[in-house]
Structure 1
Amino acid sequence: MSTPVTILCGELGAGKTTLLSSLLESTDRELAVLVNDVGAINVDADLVEARTELETGEEVLALENGCICCGIGGEFSRSVVRLQRERAFDHLVIEASGVSEPEPIARQFVRGPAAGSYDLEAVVTVVDARRFFDRFAASDADAGDGELDLPTPSGPDDDGTRPLEDLVLEQVEFCDLLVVNKCDLVSEAEREHVVALLETLQPRAEIVTTEYGSLDPPNLLGVQRFDLESATEAAGWKRALEGDDEEGGHDHDHDHDDRHDHEGDHSDDRGHDGHDHAHPPDQYGITVDSYHRRRPFHPERLTALLESLPTELVRAKGLCWIAGRERQAITMSHAGDQTTLEVTGRWIASLSEDRQETYRRGQPDLEWDEKWGDRETRLALIGRDLDRDALLERLDDCLLTDDEMDDDWSTFENGAPTSTGEPIVLSSGEPSDGN
């Protein structure tokens, strides 16, 4: 019989370890815990061991010096398989590092070596209510009545590391339970605003609110919530693009996880959970829109826009066609005041004629331009009190004019990425010193 698994995600300081410690003290189940941290000393594992009064600490399996979703994935898989073989327990709980993406971890239990031994029950993301409101929901720097002066994330590293805000929203968008923690640090109105925004970003997930990581075990254990295809497609920005597909009759998606890999090959792994979720109340001013154009952006004007996006734009994600990058399908991901541009594959139209024909036969409904093929821009836009028309007009102003369409696009100054694994990060706000 497969052992149930719960994955616990959330940014650094959200309260994952506190929640886990409380769970270990309050449940009567025999739990095995895998704690992952990035660093030579696994602080979280030490905290969990101390709080649960374990004599040997052997029930807490710690992976260090890496992230379980990437660099030490092989060690992770071997560890969880060995753990089940050598020890008896009722449930495995994984506390992922605050810099881990949940989807690659989940896939190891669905399609990886651990799939035969374990059954993934739930992916839980813990959200710091105060920090989330200040970062994504406050209208200005003075909004809210919390007393804590929490620092905002610093800008990207020189190597183009993806912004923390982007990772936070990835953790929110791929889960089936959202635990809004530290609600004692926000007002009731702020908490309701945070919940409404989370409902928009992840319509499928159940949301619970708490203080000090206090949550009854039945909310976390013994509830079969997880479905890989549903979780993959549940993000609010993906639903916005799907809605645009339904309206426009276009069903071509270049998302990195669905159709493009590093070699430019395409495969369709899409799914729909049919979940019908009410939109957040209009009183919060939260809107979800899409932007679809079949004309390229001018790289310089696009850069200028991305460096001055309105603060009311909470999330933007999708595919961009940038002049001078005729081969590269570039994903744009905006969160907070940071925007990442990253090559996630190739346009089908940039491949050889034989390969184009192969892909087009497999996608008979693919919208295709005789000259430009499948190149397009398709973005989802999620905002709060956002002037939608003004933003759409600014995006349109970034498109090439009729005269520019006839220019030599290689002469444009172009900072867009040219290959996978080399993201470009732009900031639309004053960089923080992290203090």
Structure 2
Amino acid sequence: MDGCDIGSPRLNPTATLLRTTRGVVDPGEVLGTGLYNPESAAALPGWAEELAGGHTPETEEYGIRSVTYRASRPFHPARLERALGRFTGLLRSKGFCWIASRPDLAAVWSQAGPNLVIEPAQLWASADETPGQEIVFIGVRLDLDGPRRILDPALLTDDERASGPDVWVRLDDPLPAWDVVHRH
């Protein structure tokens, strides 16, 4: 479920919902279809209320909450892999992360429903960011302390961090291998 799934029935109960992968849609599915009629849409119950903002926001109606997790040290790959199984009730999470066994690469973290992908984005040296973690978590009645409680133990300890990248690259890494850096 995403924001479109939640809001669309009130705006237009006859709308066709298209499922996509990474937002990719065949233009023929949405352009020139002749399916939209502004007069019919304006006559639908709730249309004016939705546009005027006179409704209960979905965040309140469905108990949707979000929190941003930030940390300045890399994840230990094996501990991160174990931590990932502890999340429950997430609708979405997205951001950037740093995995110690892949110290030079910034990774994109993208999760929707039960599907999580952590893939290379670019070299930290070419990014405008300092290496670290910045991931937004969105869920229904989300425990706002949950991501920190789950992920902090997956970060490198002080001793591990002090050992440096030459040691980090030899850490046990059960995460899927990366072949190339993706262009995002």
TM-score w.r.t. length of structure 1: 0.30
Is 2:60 aligned against 1:282?
yes
Tell me the CA shift for residue 286 of structure 1.
0.7
Q: Take 1:380 and 1:280, find their aligned partners in 2: how far apart are those partners?
A: 18
Q: Take 1:297 and 1:331, find their aligned partners in 2: how far apart are those partners?
A: 14
Q: Take 2:122 and 2:59, find their aligned partners in 1: how far apart are those partners?
A: 37
Q: Take 1:342 and 1:219, find their aligned partners in 2: how far apart are those partners?
A: 45
Asked whether the 8 Å contact 2:76–2:156 carries over to 1, the reply is: yes
Asked whether the 8 Å contact 2:59–2:65 carries over to 1, the reply is: no
Asked whether the 8 Å contact 1:306–1:339 carries over to 2, the reply is: no
User: In structure 2, what is the equivalent of residue 377 of structure 1?
Assistant: 133
Letter in 2 for 1:394: I
User: In structure 2, what is the equivalent of residue 405 of structure 1?
Assistant: 161
| Identity fraction in percent | 31
SS of the equivalent of 1:412 reads: coil
Is 2:117 aligned against 1:340?
yes
Using a 3 Å threshold, how does the CA distance of structure 1 residues 384 and 282 change in structure 2: closer, same or farther? same
User: In structure 1, what is the equivalent of residue 12 of structure 2?
Assistant: 209
Q: Take 2:95 and 2:137, find their aligned partners in 1: how far apart are those partners?
A: 9
Q: Take 1:220 and 1:321, find their aligned partners in 2: how far apart are those partners?
A: 50
User: In structure 1, what is the equivalent of residue 94 of structure 2?
Assistant: 317
| Structure 2 stretches lacking a partner, 5+ long | 17-34, 42-55
Tell me the CA shift for residue 219 of structure 1.
7.2
Q: Take 2:105 and 2:14, find their aligned partners in 1: how far apart are those partners?
A: 46
Letter in 2 for 1:298: H
Q: Take 1:411 and 1:393, find their aligned partners in 2: how far apart are those partners?
A: 26
Is 2:152 aligned against 1:388?
no
Letter in 1 for 2:37: P
SS of the equivalent of 2:121 reads: strand
Asked whether the 8 Å contact 2:71–2:134 carries over to 1, the reply is: yes
User: In structure 1, what is the equivalent of residue 70 of structure 2?
Assistant: 292
SS of the equivalent of 2:100 reads: coil
Is 2:124 aligned against 1:304?
no
SS of the equivalent of 2:103 reads: coil
Letter in 1 for 2:132: E
Tell me the CA shift for residue 347 of structure 1.
0.6
User: In structure 2, what is the equivalent of residue 326 of structure 1?
Assistant: 103
Tell me the CA shift for residue 307 of structure 1.
3.0
Q: Take 2:147 and 2:117, find their aligned partners in 1: how far apart are those partners?
A: 18
Tell me the CA shift for residue 283 of structure 1.
4.5
Q: Take 2:100 and 2:124, find their aligned partners in 1: how far apart are those partners?
A: 13
The structure that has the greater radius of gyration is: 1
Using a 3 Å threshold, how does the CA distance of structure 1 residues 284 and 324 change in structure 2: closer, same or farther? same
Q: Report 1:217-256 matches (<5 A).
A: 217-218=37-38
SS of the equivalent of 1:297 reads: coil
| Aligned alpha-carbon RMSD (Å) | 3.1
SS of the equivalent of 1:413 reads: coil
Tell me the CA shift for residue 209 of structure 1.
3.2
Q: Take 2:145 and 2:99, find their aligned partners in 1: how far apart are those partners?
A: 22
Q: Take 1:218 and 1:409, find their aligned partners in 2: how far apart are those partners?
A: 58
| Structure 1 stretches lacking a partner, 5+ long | 1-131, 133-168, 173-177, 181-193, 199-206, 222-277, 352-358, 360-365, 368-373, 422-435
Letter in 1 for 2:162: D
Segments ≥4 residues shifted beyond 6 Å: none
TM-score w.r.t. length of structure 2: 0.66
Using a 3 Å threshold, how does the CA distance of structure 1 residues 219 and 402 change in structure 2: closer, same or farther? farther
Letter in 2 for 1:410: V
Using a 3 Å threshold, how does the CA distance of structure 1 residues 398 and 279 change in structure 2: closer, same or farther? farther
Letter in 1 for 2:12: T
